[in-house]
Amino acid sequence: MILRQDREICLHLGEDPYEYHRAVIPPIYETSLFVFSSVDEVHAAIDDSMAQFAYTRGQNPTVQIVEAKLAALEQGESCKCFASGIAAITSTISALVTHGDHILFINEIYGPTLSYAKRLGRYGVTNDVVHLLPDDDVSEALSKAVKPTTKLIYTESPSTCLFKVVDLHKITSFAKAHGILTAIDNTWATPLFQKPLTFGFDICLHSCSKYIGGHSDVVAGAVITSKELLGRIFDEYMLHGATLGPFEAWLVLRGIRTLPERMAKFHEQGQYFAQFLNTHKRVLAVHYPGLPSDEGHALAQKQLTGYSSLMSFELDITDFDDIRTLVKKCRIFKCAVSWGGFESLILPMGRKEDSLSEQRLVRVAVGLEDMNSLIEDLNFAMA
């Protein structure tokens, strides 16, 4: 289900053709700087570089349109776009923690995010990862895992390898009671299928390189939060120089226009493909919260209004070479990292050196190709 207002946001919000010669498409403001008619004006703009146009490292009109849309879709106060998803994540984390602080990660987290957290150890910031099952007592588990120094609780739900779902409300009510900030990476669901700020999260993060951009032609990221927190993150962002270029912003904008149509189709394709995998005799398990048999399904039904099309499954193999052969035999599914574009992708999650049970895990991003062709492709490869 996609909200009526979300379609309007994707198509029109933040745009005004009368501002740019009545062009229906906003221009790519490919400029590094903006000129002023007085010293006072330039100084005022420099002092308010987050909102005013002074220098494109701070703010740019094309980028600002994307930010207005993403803030509105997440029902947040404000948004800042970044040169990549990981730039949004690392700038946010480093803006919020300092020497002596602790970060608590919940469940499976995007690898580079954890690598960054580990690096922060050099600056005296520690972290732990706690794993929660859908039926666990969240408050009890978190009580054991937090420290007096915990500043930030960070999670992904659904996560992007095993697609674990956590109880968003329970996490934020625990965090609020303990004065801890909460952040979530919402890339899998997109703001169309899940709005974490409405569950009480302080910060919502996105890689726009996935479904939001949607055409595998741009790398971008975003953070959506309160004005107050964004001000702190913006200072960090300016010093990291993690700016999204106007052309990249324009590509993201073009992707957003069809986001509701694409997500509705990905929902349909994902459900269908997961059912196919679930009944295939060579598949031992499917990880996808959209399947009624999935352990996270009941919780997912309360938190998500749709399911995207990235999932993983475990194959009955006896040797990693079987996975290599399977990938080679695919014609439509291409072997690659990332996901969320129009094209179907396949990626073994395990490596040759892992144990057999880890070698079995394969991730697929179901694209927009014909469903019967996709099923035929994987059926042939798995035979």
Ligand X SMILES: *Cc1c(COP(=O)(O)O)cnc(C)c1O
Segment contacting ligand X by CB under 6 A, of 21-29, 61-69, 176-184, 203-211: 203-211
Q: Which is nearer to ligand X, 210 or 267 (CB)?
A: 210
C-alpha Rg value of the chain to the nearest Å:
21
User: CA 32, CA 245: separation in Å to the nearest integer?
Assistant: 10
> Which of 74, 101, 167, 185 is in the footprint of ligand X by CB under 6 A?
185
CB 87 within 8 A of CB 242: yes
Does residue number 190 form part of the binding site for ligand X (CB under 6 A)?
A: no
> Which of 45, 71, 73, 86 is in the footprint of ligand X by CB under 6 A?
86
What residues pair up with 361 in beta bridges, in sequence order? 314
To 5 degrees, how large is the angle CA 9–CA 181–CA 167? 70
Does residue number 269 form part of the binding site for ligand X (CB under 6 A)?
A: no
Segment contacting ligand X by CB under 6 A, of 41-49, 62-70, 83-91, 145-153: 83-91
Amino acid letter, residue 23: A
Work out how close the CB of 85 gets to ligand X at its nearest, in angstroms, rounded to a whole number: 2
Beta strands in the chain (DSSP E): 78-82, 102-106, 126-130, 150-156, 181-185, 203-207, 221-225, 283-287, 310-315, 334-335, 345-348, 361-365
Q: Please, what is the end-to-end C-alpha distance for the chain in angstroms?
A: 36
Does residue number 160 form part of the binding site for ligand X (CB under 6 A)?
A: yes
**Residue 283, SS3?**
strand
Segment contacting ligand X by CB under 6 A, of 12-20, 68-76, 81-89, 147-155: 81-89
Could you give the string, one character per residue 209-228, with x where binding to ligand X holds by CB under 6 A and - elsewhere?
xx--------x-x-------
> Which of 58, 61, 76, 85 is in the footprint of ligand X by CB under 6 A?
85
Q: Footprint of ligand X on this chain (CB under 6 A)?
A: 84-86, 110, 156, 160, 185, 187, 207, 209-210, 219, 221
